[in-house]
Amino acid sequence: MTPFKKAIIASVMSASVLACFPSAASAAPAVVSPTIAALPDFADIVDRTGPGVVNIRTTERVRSGQAQGGADDQEMQEFFRRFFGVPVPRQQQPQQPNTPRNNGKPNSSQQEEVPRGVGSGFVISADGYILTNAHVVEGASDVYVTLTDKREFKAKIIGSDTRTDVALLKIDGNNLPRLTMGDSDKIRAGEWVLAIGSPFGLENTVTAGIVSAKARDTGDYLPLIQTDVAVNPGNSGGPLINLKGEVIGINSQIYSRSGGFMGISFAVPIDEALRVSDQLKASGKVTRGRIGVQIGEVTKDVAESLGLAKAQGALVQRVEAGGPAEKGGLEAGDIILKFNGATIDRPSDLPRMVGATKPGTKATVNVWRKGSARDVSLVVTELEADKTAKQQDDQKAMPEVAPNALGLIVSDLSDAQKKDLKADNGVLVEAASGAAAGAGIRAGDVIQRINEVDVKDAKQFNQLVAKLDSKKRAAVLVRRGDSSQFVPLRPSAGNSN
């Protein structure tokens, strides 16, 4: 090989080596490792916010002798409550033998206060206003609030809204430790959050996690915040707090197949909760608009067949006779695309927009009908409101009806209720105490059968109960929502309508 060829080969090899292994003078920039952030320290946040979180316990007044439920019933009671997804209240204590009597007969007016349940809440103003869940105080005769310094106050229910599960309480206090409100619209999936509350009655317990989703559709009137924070019975009503120490939600629900925490919990966005509390503070109730339509989803196939560019909007399935929608000209089969100019992406958007509209307002609804879009004008009316605190007090002042031997006060189902339930029989539970309350039955449940007999009306039901043997349990078929469950109850002796 000639010297010239050797020089050429050497030059090429040198270039190849330099390409594969650059020299120090021409080295490529070093790869920068991503910065690993340290896990947050929640201690300072808990120190600042903990004093503003309160424990809430509720009680119920029942007639002496109505408290039932021994140790042999507890397993069934626990299963029943977890089957229906409600917290397990403390067991009622049996009546003591020294209960006052009149002329040797039980004193029907004698009442005792029994525990009903526990929950959480938080102070939103230094003068004693407290936010919690509506289901925490629902049906309670008395509500007690305990601060972290062990001071206990009897609270007044200013109002509650079951549709958003928000309740406003008031205690007589000054310079109370209040929490700072945040902006739930600005939260992001993945950010750290804390929950402080009283799970299973354990006061000021702190759990941490992240926001899993910020607008999870689980209800008609608001999208909930989904987190993986451990939330259990008793946490309900407590605050969901961000790393700034601000409240961004009220812990409200869990998803569970067993009754325990499974990594999915939901919170009411604080922005919506504050709007509700402002109305409750002003009038004791929440006013919402309605237009009188039943709506459904617009699927991709339906959108394509009707000529819509994409699957969006709310399909009108039924128009209420004489309602605002019918008067405005809406028809079944219309697809509502916009409400007052705001786009309806999902069916659940419409109830929220309409609900936030003041009754009496003239609204413009943009609908897709027979291949083209058109505007329809209608006047929003008021949605039937939840009972105000004053109405509840008025009801408590009404003459009492004695519960039957199972501790139940029931009423006949209306034709409309039977239609909604798709049931031909049953009675509505107006109030529960004694054995029924101890087993977890509550107002709003429907009794469909007792032993092997279908329940037709309240009169027949009370007659059946009056004939029960107080030494034997009766199998009572109870329906709540779409679920039904047999509950064994033992009637009390000498207590019936």
Q: Is 393 helix (H, G, I), strand (E, B) or coil?
A: helix
Q: What is the C-alpha end-to-end distance of the chain, expressed in Å? A: 121
Residue among 135, 184, 265, 433 flagged as catalytic? 135
Pair of tokens at residue 122: 């938080």
Structure tokens at 181: 């409100």
Round to whole Å and give the CA distance between 210 and 47: 20
What is the gyration radius of the CA atoms in the chain, in angstroms?
30
- Residue 257 DSSP SS3: coil
- CA dist 139 and 395 (Å) reads 12
Residue 3: phi and psi, rounded to 5, are -55, -35
Active-site residue identified among 161, 165, 334, 386: 165
**Catalytic residue at 484?**
no
Long-range contacts made by residues 352-355, C-beta under 8 angstroms, separation at least 24?
352/220, 352/221, 352/222, 352/223, 354/288, 354/289, 354/290, 354/291, 354/380, 355/220, 355/221, 355/288, 355/289, 355/290, 355/383
Distance CA 42, CA 46 (A): 6
Catalytically annotated residue among 120, 160, 236, 492 = 236
State how far the Cα of 67 lies from the Cα of 438, in Å rounded to an integer.
8
In this structure, are strands 427-432 and 446-450 parallel, antiparallel, or unpaired? Answer: antiparallel
* Nearest-angstrom CA–CA distance, 384 and 56: 29
Active site residue 165: yes
Asked if 120 is an active-site residue, the reply is: no
Amino acid at 96: Q
Cα gap 17→334, rounded to integer Å: 72
Q: Which residue, 178, 195, 184, is CA-closest to 270?
A: 184
Closest of 434, 409, 392 to residue 142, by C-alpha: 392
Torsion of CA 399, 402, 408, 413, to 10 degrees: -50
Active site residues: 135, 165, 236
